[in-house]
């Protein structure tokens, strides 16, 4: 197995956060193959090296990845203080996982869930420009003037670029858009900027993942090979 930094391994294994892992190493609480390691840059082979934290072995955590076809009416939190339904009432798997980003309660489509924090961070980080494709139904027709302005939209938290916009019906109320970032409620905010209301929103794809053949409310496990391919596809862009 490829060697990895000790602090990253501790985080990946669930022993601590990446930041706290440095403190553990500095404090001499980490032993690798019988020797105390205080070097933050020290690399290990997770399959061969024995890592101990305060006398207990740290074992690699098995990462899992799921592709869920989110239905409308569910929020993407583990629990909700306001009593709203959450996806975890219907999405039940043996592992404790969390969503990669969020979808609004009334938004449907692609939702990734995992216990791999590094993968989640990679997918959500703006610098990686991971594509998200949406089907949008609006409350009124788009005008040609608005269509031109949708290429680059100034929101309160910065500029959003719409990479592709496709009109899907003669009334110009159904469109497909492609973004390469995932700010909070970004699609609805883009159209609200021009006094349009999104009355239906469906995420078609996120990176290379699509729910075209997955029934609403169902999910599939994603092979690790597909996860690696997705990372390889976007990590150098």
Catalytic site residue from 22, 49, 104, 118: 104
Rounded distance between C-alpha atoms, residue 47 and residue 100, angstroms = 27
CATH 3.30.2350.10 corresponds to the domain 65-234? yes
**3-state DSSP call for residue 24?**
helix
65-234 and 4-57 share a CATH fold: no
Instruction: Write the CB contacts of 78 (distance below 8 Å, at least 6 apart in sequence).
Output: 86, 88, 98
Phi and psi (nearest 5°) for 18? -60, -40
pLDDT tens sequence across 124-150:
999 999 999 999 999 999 999 999 999
**104 part of the active site:** yes
Q: Which of 189, 223, 187 is nearest to 208 (CA)?
A: 223
| Mean pLDDT rounded to a whole number for the chain | 91
pTM of structure? 0.77
Instruction: Give domain limits for the chain.
Output: 4-57, 65-234
CATH topology of domain 4-57: 3.10.290
E strand or H helix at 176: strand 174-179
**Digit-coded pLDDT (tens) for 210-220:** 999 999 999 99
Residue of 176, 236, 226 whose CA lies nearest to 204: 176
Confidence band for 204, pLDDT divided at 50, 70 and 90: very high
């Amino acid at each position: 197995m490829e060697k990895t930094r000790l602090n990253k391994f501790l985080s990946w294994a669930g022993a601590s956060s990446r930041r706290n892992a440095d403190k553990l190493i500095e404090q001499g609480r980490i032993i690798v193959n019988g020797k105390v390691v205080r070097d933050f840059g020290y690399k290990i082979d997770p399959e061969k090296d024995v890592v101990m934290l305060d006398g207990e072995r740290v074992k690699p955590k098995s990462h899992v990845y799921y592709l869920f076809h989110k239905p409308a009416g569910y929020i993407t939190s583990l629990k909700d203080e306001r009593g709203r339904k959450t996806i975890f009432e219907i999405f039940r798997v043996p592992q404790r996982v969390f969503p990669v980003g969020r979808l609004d309660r009334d938004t449907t489509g692609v939702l990734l869930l995992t216990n791999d924090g590094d993968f989640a961070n990679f997918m959500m980080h703006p610098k990686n420009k991971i594509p998200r494709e949406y089907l949008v139904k609006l409350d009124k027709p788009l005008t040609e003037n608005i269509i031109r302005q949708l290429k680059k939209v100034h929101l309160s938290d910065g500029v959003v670029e719409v990479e592709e916009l496709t009109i899907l019906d003669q009334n110009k109320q159904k469109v497909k858009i492609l973004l390469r970032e995932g700010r909070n409620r970004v699609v609805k905010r883009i159209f609200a900027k021009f006094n349009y209301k999104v009355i239906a929103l469906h995420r078609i794809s996120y990176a290379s993942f699509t729910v075209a053949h997955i029934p609403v409310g169902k999910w599939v496990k994603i092979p690790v090979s597909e996860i690696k391919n997705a990372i390889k596809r976007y990590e150098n862009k």
